[in-house]
Amino acid sequence: DGGITQSPKYLFRKEGQNVTLSCEQNLNHDAMYWYRQDPGQGLRLIYYSQIVNDFQKGDIAEGYSVSREKKESFPLTVTSAQKNPTAFYLCASTGQGRNIQYFGAGTRLSVL
């Protein structure tokens, strides 16, 4: 999984709770991405950031929020507004040319 670290590996959310998933990269990549993976649906883009202090919504941003205060870090918060948060979440990054995305090992989020 290269130089991308996601934590925790497993996370449990209670009703009405916000939880934050961590993604850190040491690849000096400019762009970072968050995907949600559900069985049979492939990967869907939640948010992406091409530079520090800037980020854009992806296809399924509702109920999620992100920040990009440092180049190395792109945390994802799953808010209480996300009614169906159970999924496998993957963070990725890409460098100049942006031809290959490198992925972290993922965080599996479940609801208690």
Partner 1 sequence: AQSVAQPEDQVNVAEGNPLTVKCTYSVSGNPYLFWYVQYPNRGLQFLLKYITGDNLVKGSYGFEAEFNKSQTSFHLKKPSALVSDSALYFCAVRDQTGANNLFFGTGTRLTVIP
- Site residues (vs partner 1, CB under 8 A): 1, 4, 6, 31, 33, 35, 40-45, 48, 50, 56, 58, 88, 90, 92, 94, 98-106, 108
CB of 15 to partner 1, least distance (A): 25
Nearer of residues 77 and 101 to partner 1, judged by Cβ: 101
CB of 29 to partner 1, least distance (A): 12
**39: cis peptide before it, omega within 30°?**
no
What are the CA-CA distances from residue 85 to residues 41, 50, 103, 112 (Å)?
15, 25, 20, 11
Nearer of residues 75 and 80 to partner 1, judged by Cβ: 75
CB of 109 to partner 1, least distance (A): 13
CB of 86 to partner 1, least distance (A): 15
C-alpha 31/C-alpha 39 separation (Å) is 26
Residues in the chain: 112
Q: Shortest CA distance to 93 belongs to which of 22, 20, 41, 28?
A: 28
Q: Are 1 and 89 in contact (CB under 8 A)?
A: no
